[in-house]
């Protein structure tokens, strides 16, 4: 069986936050999935100045020792490397769209969704419109630009249209709070969504993977929320920065988020809705969706997060593990979906 040359596309063309977030996940993926009998891993590391590096590892030392080069030189390098496929590890919008499109032009296949689908999912209002048209319930909302006045009566949730990790998200309980909430949200995007607040309930995330033409619903992840003390999740629930400047995944401590027992009656209902979202958006290989569950048990679509770094702490990896799918099998399934049309590239 030939060894696959897999390029990990890491970093951010947008800012240092996304650069560090990408490096955090990719580093874990590289360590957990290394298998010289199956893979030869290479790294392409992009920084916010849009320079490329090809370091030996993702340690700060190796990155600093590697010469930065412009995209033209990077393309020349990539085309001479005999790369079988690329694994996207970039979470910024340019990384999820423009950089994936570059690999389409280079005819290098990659795991995960295409740039057009990533662009739609990253724009929360567009994703909501598409899944709503497919029959999925979404909170009533409006898309605002600078100077627009909200018409939704609080309680309402104000959020940037294209930010992740709850950056800029505010729960407004009174109309007098709208100005401050909008000001904060507009710091992260030039458009803002105002949505009617869905009473709790619960809040869950559902992952879908594709295997041999079948959509498989994974066990749900549930978040720690409370109708009175914590009605919505915020940035601190997901990430925090340590004293040495590194990011830490606070949502992976089994306190703020945990994998739900698959026998929970909400699981099957949410999985069916998530499959409908996957199909409506035109996803491939895998997908991930957040839902608010109201007091009557009705799932409401909140947003799509169409990425998986194949690190042990990645949400889809954790869900797959709970379903009895080891990380290496999850990766092999994704590789086969990416490269294998009528034949399996790897056996799992």
Asked if the structure places residue 326 within a domain, the reply is no
**Residue 160 sits in the same domain as residue 256:** no
- Distance CA(9)–CA(22), nearest Å, equals 9
As a whole number of angstroms, the distance between CA 61 and CA 66 comes to 9
Does 127 reside within a domain?
A: no
Neighbouring CB atoms inside 10 A of 158's CB total 26
User: What tens digit of pLDDT does each residue of 116-166 get?
Assistant: 999 999 999 999 999 999 999 999 999 999 999 999 999 999 999 987 667
Vertex 275, ends 281 and 89: CA angle to 5°? 60
Residue 104: inside a domain: yes
Domain end among 196, 220, 241? 196
- Please report the pLDDT score of residue 167 as a whole number: 82
Residue 315 lies in a domain: no
Q: 238 vs 108, which has greater pLDDT?
A: 108
> How far apart are alpha carbons 11 and 89 in whole angstroms?
7
Give the C-alpha separation, 69 to 63, whole Å: 12
Domain containing residue 160: 140-196
How are beta strands 299-304 and 286-293 bridged, if at all? antiparallel
pLDDT at 342 over 90: no
Domain boundary among 112, 131, 155: 112
Give me the CATH number covering residue 270: 3.30.470.20
Averaged pLDDT for residues 79-88 = 96
**What burial class does residue 270 get, using C-beta atoms within 10 Å of its C-beta: 0-12 exposed, 13-18 middle, 19+ buried?**
buried
Q: Is the pTM above the cut of 0.85? A: yes
Residue where the block lists tokens 């009705």:
298
Q: Is 333 a residue whose pLDDT tops 90?
A: yes
Instruction: Dump pLDDT digits (tens) for 182-193.
Output: 999 999 999 999
Are 231 and 219 in a shared domain?
A: yes
pLDDT at residue 2, as a whole number? 83
Q: Domain count of the chain?
A: 3
Confidence of residue 347 (pLDDT cuts 50, 70, 90): low
Residue 224 predicted with pLDDT over 80: yes
> So what's the pLDDT on residue 163?
77
152 and 208 both lie in a single domain? no
User: Is residue 192 located within the same domain as residue 243?
Assistant: no
Is residue 48 domain-resident?
yes
């Amino acid at each position: 069986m030939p060894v696959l040359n897999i390029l990990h596309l890491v970093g951010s063309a947008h800012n240092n936050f996304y650069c560090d977030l990408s490096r955090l996940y990719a580093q874990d993926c590289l360590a957990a999935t290394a298998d010289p009998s199956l893979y030869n891993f290479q790294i392409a590391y992009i920084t916010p100045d849009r320079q490329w590096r090809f370091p030996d590892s993702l340690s700060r030392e190796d990155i600093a020792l590697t010469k930065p080069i412009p995209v033209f030189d990077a393309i020349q390098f990539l085309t001479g490397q005999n790369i079988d496929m690329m694994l996207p590890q970039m979470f910024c919008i340019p990384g999820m769209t423009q950089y994936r499109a570059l690999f389409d032009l280079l005819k290098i296949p990659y795991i995960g969704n295409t740039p057009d689908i990533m662009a739609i999912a990253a724009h929360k209002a567009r994703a909501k419109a598409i899944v709503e048209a497919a029959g999925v319930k979404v909170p009533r909302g409006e898309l605002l630009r600078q100077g627009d006045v909200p018409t939704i009566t609080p309680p309402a949730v104000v959020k940037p249209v294209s930010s992740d990790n709850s950056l800029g998200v505010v729960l407004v309980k009174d109309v007098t709070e709208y100005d401050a909430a909008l000001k904060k949200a507009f710091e992260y995007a030039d458009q803002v969504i105002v949505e009617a607040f869905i009473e709790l309930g619960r809040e869950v995330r559902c992952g879908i993977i594709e295997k041999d033409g079948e959509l498989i619903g994974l066990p749900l992840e549930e978040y720690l929320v409370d109708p009175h003390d914590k009605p919505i999740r915020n940035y601190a629930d997901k990430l925090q920065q340590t004293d040495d400047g590194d990011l830490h995944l606070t949502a992976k401590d089994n306190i703020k988020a945990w994998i739900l027992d698959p026998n929970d009656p909400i699981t099957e209902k949410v999985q069916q809705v998530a499959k409908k979202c996957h199909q409506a958006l035109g996803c491939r290989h895998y997908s991930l969706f957040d839902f608010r569950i109201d007091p009557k048990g009705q799932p409401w679509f909140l947003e799509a997060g169409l990425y998986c770094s194949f690190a042990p702490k990645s949400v889809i990896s954790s869900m797959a593990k709970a379903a009895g799918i080891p990380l290496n099998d999850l990766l092999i399934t994704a590789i086969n979906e990416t490269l294998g049309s009528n034949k399996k590239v790897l056996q799992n």
